[in-house]
A and B are shown apart, each in its own frame.
Chain A
């Protein structure tokens, strides 16, 4: 499983959210900070269109900073989601994204998974869909799974790299 996770992870570090201008959002009381501006909405529109599979999470796939985000990444790895079709956004790097995505999805918690721009759910939903088989059905229909042969080839070559990487910290 860790091998799948690893190949999933590598590709996921590429995008950053968007160049953020300093905003006053974080200085406002939380009730006002939850107001979603047009620019934030547009940025999130772009973010969810980055890849067929998009996860908003705390931390990075390599270093999740919350158990729920970690579990979600593991499920995506187990499901065999194609790294080329996956992007993760770290909400801890951007307070506007962190607050905005909750309002955008009408979902109060992080992580949040989008597939083909549609909101799927948070960690609890991923877990239950994973065990019920709904998730693999969804991924298959969406055409986001790694092709079987290639996935295997990439896991065997990444094995030695993984050992070297294991002590790396950010």
Chain B
């Protein structure tokens, strides 16, 4: 498990952008370099009309091979409209 997975935040981000038509992607590597623990925020119009479960399923299916190789995968998924609200809220709190 501690071996290097060969997966990086950059490769994940590229895959997410191209396959999910994501308008915003943030992938954070929390593994300290071994490529095992990633946390992502994904905004895509493909999420429109989907439940949280359906959105995550779409991401998980798209990244099936990558996720199988890493230890921990966490993702937050938003439609562009939901993402605007999140940003507004954050701006309000800041």
Among the 9-residue stretches A17-25, A118-126, A139-147, A157-165, the one with 4 or more Cβ atoms under 8 Å from chain B is A118-126
Residues A107 and B60 in contact, CB atoms below 8 Å apart = yes
In the bound complex, how far is the Cα of B36 from the Cα of A109, in angstroms? 13
User: Number of residues in B with C-beta < 8 Å to the partner?
Assistant: 14
Question: Looking across the interface, which residue of chain A has its beta carbon closest to that of B77?
Answer: A124
In the bound complex, how far is the Cα of B71 from the Cα of A30, in angstroms? 14
Main SS of the interface on chain B?
Answer: helix
B8 within 8 A of A: no
Segment 50-72 of B: residues with Cβ below 8 Å from A: 52-53, 56-57, 60-61, 64, 67-68, 72
Residues A128 and B52 in contact, CB atoms below 8 Å apart = yes
- 11 examples of A-B residue contacts, CB within 8 angstroms: A68-B74, A106-B60, A107-B57, A107-B60, A108-B60, A108-B67, A119-B53, A121-B53, A122-B56, A124-B75, A129-B52
Which A residues contact B (CB, under 8 angstroms)? 30, 34, 66, 68, 106-109, 119-125, 128-129
